[in-house]
């Protein structure tokens, strides 16, 4: 299975049964909230999402590879673990850079909305 198909599969199953072996040991991860290095830290972040968030899901809208770069467009959604269980949705894209071994050495997420917008989604109370 090629990397694009593996990534499609990971998005479908997110956050369960991810292919962490596709990431370099010292992979850089960055999004609007955090930045760190390491495949193990990346795995822990995904496990945290699966444990704390309710019904997390990533809908993959597009995936394209140009040379050593892969770009994905997606919507991440979940029910926040708050008493009123607000539904959160963040649309964005990821830029994945491959190293010479074909492993993902950089995974940078961008959001199409602000951090304030995400906070406001958490504060909505549905009746």
pLDDT digit string (tens) for 27-70?
999 999 999 999 999 999 999 999 989 999 999 999 999 999 99
Look at residue 42 in the predicted model and tell me its pLDDT. 97
- The count of domains in the chain is 1
Residue 91: give the domain boundaries.
3-123
* CATH at residue 44: 3.10.450.50
- Is residue 125 scored above 80 in pLDDT? no
**What whole-number distance in Å separates Cα of residue 117 and Cα of residue 45?**
22
**What whole-number distance in Å separates Cα of residue 30 and Cα of residue 127?**
35
């Amino acid at each position: 299975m090629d990397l694009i198909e593996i990534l499609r599969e990971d998005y479908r199953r997110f956050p369960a049964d991810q292919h962490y072996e596709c990431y370099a040991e010292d992979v850089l991860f960055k999004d609007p909230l955090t930045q760190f290095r390491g495949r193990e830290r990346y795995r822990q972040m995904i496990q945290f999402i699966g444990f704390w968030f309710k019904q997390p899901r990533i809908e993959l809208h597009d995936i394209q590879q140009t040379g050593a770069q892969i770009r994905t467009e997606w919507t991440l959604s979940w029910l926040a673990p708050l008493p009123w269980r607000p539904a959160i949705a963040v649309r964005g894209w990821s830029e994945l850079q491959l190293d010479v071994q074909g492993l993902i050495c950089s995974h940078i997420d961008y959001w199409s909305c602000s951090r304030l917008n995400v906070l406001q989604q958490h504060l909505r109370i549905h009746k």
